[in-house]
Structure 1
Amino acid sequence: MPRGIVAREFGGPGVLVAEDVPDREPGPAEVLVRVHAAGVNPADTYIRTGEYSFFKPSVPYTPGFDAAGVLEAVGSEVSNLQYGDRVFVAALGLASSGSYAQQVVCDAAAVHPLPDRLSFHQGAGLGIPWTTAYRALFQRGNLQPGETVLIHGASGGVGNPAVQLAIAAGATVIGTAGSEEGLELVRSLGAHHVLNHRSAGNLDSVPTLTGGRGIDLVVEMLASQNLEADAELLAPRGRIVVVGSRGSLTFTPRVLMVREADVRGTALWNMTPAERKQAQSAINQFSADTGPATATATVFPLDDAAKAHEHLMSQAALGKCLLDCT
């Protein structure tokens, strides 16, 4: 029997238990994927608590929306996919049995061809992280060629693709990270400037780096800590897109008024079908033409999903977090 992670209650990482699960069969508009690798995302950890405002599954459930593997079966209504195809799964917002498993059944619309030159580990990171990065930069941030973007946490799961997409779009990228390893990773992705966000005064050089103009777009992973400092760095009519926050803060609205600047939130759960299609098409095109850089990933065995959740939310997390499901 295949293995899968089953959460029979909400709570801490310990509720994620590996079990033998029955073989699955796809419905008419579904496919069955033999999973080689599954992506572990921050949203998975929030959902596990049962207190996530965007999504609360019925228990028991198998977590996970992202995966990569090989098609083992296709439903009778599926004509664009076939047995043996290498694919990646990006199932947020679509029907799925959960990707933390050796098999996943999902809506055929969640499945996309995985280019031969990309590994299953790379493919398992193409769902939530790349869609979040694309939405933050373009659908919410309206990034234009020639603009300057500051990407906080550029060494992380979302920051990593954000750097690559922004560079491909012709932007100047300033990326931050919190360790020497992280800084080197951001440099390797091609960021034009790299700053250590754990150093005092780490943003003091931004005016010089931008020729005094300021930042056009900030992709913010921890707004509760950085929002006002971000706003003070903005160019006229600059934008901040909030991807993540872990609390509240005191903020001075006049900082925005002076610059006629915007603060915009984003969450993939709010995407329209048209926005989802646009983002996925762009990601597929990037994967086919350029391909994601081979970047740092921390890989855990499927049975150690609880440890993966603990790691992901720790300060040690760098790059993508994955489960090996082979």
Structure 2
Amino acid sequence: MKAAFINATGSPDIIEFGDVPDPQLRPDQVLIRVEASSVNPIDTYVRGGVIAMELPTPYFPGCDAAGVVEAVGSAVKRFAVGDRVWTTNQGLLGRQGTFAEQIAVDEKWVYALPREVSFEDAAACALVGVTAHLGLFREAALEPGETVLVIGGSGGVGSLVVQMAAAHGARVIATAGSKEKADKVRSFGAEEVILYKDQSIPEQVQRFAPQGVNVLWETRREPDFASAVGMLAERGRMVLMAGRDAQPPFPVGPFYVKECSLHGFVMFKATPIEMRTAAEDLTRMLKSGKIRANIGARFPLDQAAAAHRLQESATLGDSDQLCGKVVVINSESSVS
């Protein structure tokens, strides 16, 4: 079969495309013909060696995929040949990734995909959607009627946080870097959008939410805890899912006096049960139209290196070229 792969970590230029051995199916695995996959910032970190992990050789980058079941192991109970499915949490902790024509995935990481949801949309929403769900509901315990501030509302995770929070009945304030991105964030359900390049985030939050926000979702690599705590309401919750190397000062006094809480998490450490709960809820929301994919660019599988370059330019280079997720397509049928 064909795959995009690496034999050692490094820049996007080391990604090759060519023939590799077909995957060998274990009893507890599902063989998926991949129709679409996507690129996440963590994919570029693993490929670049920034996050050290055990990797198979060759290694296919990618956490997410959607496609059709081609075979099942003898112990698989939830799926049959021909089922439409999606998966995430691959390419991590020693697991093989998704940038290939076929992948063998443990059944516990595979979820049913209704025909109403395209392969592209499922792949684009996989990791980011599970991340948004875990952060909003497992960590922050968001309640209807609360106010949520999303820093980076047009990004991969941020756009799903905006949509999920709005669908749950929360009032959403989000930041964006341009008028075009602000319009998109409003279409996702944000009531107010702050143009952070021209406006002060704390000042605008004070105008929109004088009592503070109940949940603050931070996506930047360098959080500003002083301004964050100032924007939180009493018993406000701040969610962190970025900033691996950041060590900013922290305002302990204002934080504990307000009875605030700080929630740091990484989605790939969630248990299979937690992942499945989030994944099945995400699928229901996609099917019903309560949330939709935010796709910023598409590449064929043989241009995986270019897909990684674009993602890396947005993640590490703060480029404005990308607004949404990068999707990698294996065939024309991926849109159906």
Determine if the TM-score, normalized by the shorter chain, exceeds 0.5: yes
* Structure 2, unpaired ranges of 5+: 332-336
Match of 2:324 in 1: 319
Secondary structure, in 3 states, of the residue corresponding to 1:205? helix
- 1:215 is aligned to 2:208: no
Q: Which amino acid aligns with 2:330?
A: C
Match of 2:44 in 1: 45
- 8 Å CA contact retained: 2:55, 2:95: no
Cα distance in 2, alignment partners of residues 64 and 291 from structure 1: 26
1:252-263 equivalences in 2 (<5 Å) = 252-263=251-262
Secondary structure, in 3 states, of the residue corresponding to 2:149? strand
In the TM superposition, what is the alpha-carbon distance from 1:284 to its structure 2 partner?
2.9
Q: Deviations over 1:170-219 (max 9, x none)?
A: 11111111122211111111111111122241431212211x11011111
CA separation of 1:277 and 1:149: change in aligned 2, threshold 3 A: same
Q: Deviations over 1:207-232 (max 9, x none)?
A: 2211x110111110015143322211
Secondary structure, in 3 states, of the residue corresponding to 2:141? coil
In the TM superposition, what is the alpha-carbon distance from 1:294 to its structure 2 partner?
4.5
Q: Which amino acid aligns with 1:111?
A: V
Cα distance in 1, alignment partners of residues 166 and 23 from structure 2: 41
Match of 2:224 in 1: 226
CA separation of 1:91 and 1:264: change in aligned 2, threshold 3 A: closer
- 1:73 is aligned to 2:71: yes
Q: Which amino acid aligns with 1:78?
A: V
Number of residue pairs the alignment of both structures matches: 323
In the TM superposition, what is the alpha-carbon distance from 1:95 to its structure 2 partner?
7.9
Cα distance in 1, alignment partners of residues 86 and 148 from structure 2: 29
In the TM superposition, what is the alpha-carbon distance from 1:96 to its structure 2 partner?
4.9
Q: Which amino acid aligns with 2:271?
A: T
In the TM superposition, what is the alpha-carbon distance from 1:263 to its structure 2 partner?
2.0
Match of 1:174 in 2: 173
Q: Deviations over 1:9-36 (max 9, x none)?
A: 1111122111212233422221111111
Cα distance in 1, alignment partners of residues 150 and 327 from structure 2: 22
Match of 2:62 in 1: 64
Match of 2:114 in 1: 115
Match of 1:152 in 2: 151
> What is the percent sequence identity of the aligned residues?
35
Secondary structure, in 3 states, of the residue corresponding to 2:307? helix
Match of 2:130 in 1: 131
- 1:247 is aligned to 2:251: no
Cα distance in 2, alignment partners of residues 116 and 291 from structure 1: 16
The farther-off stretch of 110-119 and 88-97 is 88-97
In the TM superposition, what is the alpha-carbon distance from 1:292 to its structure 2 partner?
3.0
CA separation of 1:94 and 1:165: change in aligned 2, threshold 3 A: farther
In the TM superposition, what is the alpha-carbon distance from 1:274 to its structure 2 partner?
3.4
In the TM superposition, what is the alpha-carbon distance from 1:310 to its structure 2 partner?
1.8
The farther-off stretch of 85-94 and 2-11 is 85-94
Secondary structure, in 3 states, of the residue corresponding to 1:105? strand
CA separation of 1:208 and 1:176: change in aligned 2, threshold 3 A: same
Secondary structure, in 3 states, of the residue corresponding to 1:218? strand
- 8 Å CA contact retained: 1:217, 1:239: yes
The farther-off stretch of 188-197 and 212-221 is 188-197
Q: TM-score, normalised by structure 1?
A: 0.92
- 8 Å CA contact retained: 1:7, 1:61: yes
Q: Deviations over 1:83-105 (max 9, x none)?
A: 22222122446885321111111
CA separation of 1:272 and 1:23: change in aligned 2, threshold 3 A: closer
CA separation of 1:13 and 1:34: change in aligned 2, threshold 3 A: same
Q: Which amino acid aligns with 2:42?
A: A
CA separation of 1:291 and 1:95: change in aligned 2, threshold 3 A: farther
Cα distance in 1, alignment partners of residues 265 and 197 from structure 2: 25
Cα distance in 2, alignment partners of residues 305 and 227 from structure 1: 36
The farther-off stretch of 165-174 and 253-262 is 253-262
In the TM superposition, what is the alpha-carbon distance from 1:291 to its structure 2 partner?
5.1
Match of 1:300 in 2: 299
CA separation of 1:307 and 1:248: change in aligned 2, threshold 3 A: farther
In the TM superposition, what is the alpha-carbon distance from 1:278 to its structure 2 partner?
2.5
Cα distance in 2, alignment partners of residues 64 and 150 from structure 1: 29
Secondary structure, in 3 states, of the residue corresponding to 1:145? coil
Match of 1:161 in 2: 160
Secondary structure, in 3 states, of the residue corresponding to 2:121? helix
Q: TM-score, normalised by structure 2?
A: 0.89
Q: Deviations over 1:23-80 (max 9, x none)?
A: 3342222111111111111111111122315x44244311112111112222222232
CA separation of 1:96 and 1:84: change in aligned 2, threshold 3 A: farther
Cα distance in 2, alignment partners of residues 223 and 214 from structure 1: 23
- 1:85 is aligned to 2:83: yes
Q: Which amino acid aligns with 2:75?
A: E
- 8 Å CA contact retained: 1:3, 1:102: yes
